[in-house]
Amino acid sequence: MTEKSLYERLGGYDGITGFANDLLPRLQNDSQLGRFWKNRGDDGIEREKQLLIDYLCSNSGGPVYYTGRKMKLVHEGMKINESDWGIFFEHAGATMIALEIPSQECDDIVSFVSSLKNDIVEL
């Protein structure tokens, strides 16, 4: 018997979409992180959300093909710092609690996202 992928354990596309739908408003409304969405149109924000969903689905073992850019290129010049990174994880944790994601899946999400730190944090 093969172990289920993280994609499957999170509920597939719908589960990951639910994660993004809960997390992004938390980030956008945060007093520190909200600056990354200032002066952005609704269309651009929706496109960004879809790319996030595709990225998470693709990298968690799902059948979705991610067509976006590499994480380093996407975040280059945004001046994301350690404090921003920590606040992001606070919101991600709150999302995982709100969605009642089991602890093993939470650990797997944290591990995966943590592996991206050098591509995202600049300062």
Instruction: Find the mean pLDDT for residues 73-93.
Output: 98
Domains of the chain: 12-120 (1.10.490.10)
Residue 1 pLDDT greater than 70, yes or no? no
What is the amino acid identity at position 55? Y
Dihedral of CA 54/18/24/85: which sign? negative
Check if the beta carbon of residue 32 is closer than 8 Å to that of residue 83.
yes
Instruction: Find the mean pLDDT for residues 11-32.
Output: 98
Q: Supply 14's token pair.
A: 């719908």
pLDDT averaged over the chain?
97
Q: What is the pLDDT of residues 39-68, one digit of tens each?
A: 999 999 999 999 999 999 999 999 999 999
State the Cα–Cα distance between residues 52 and 24, nearest whole angstrom. 10
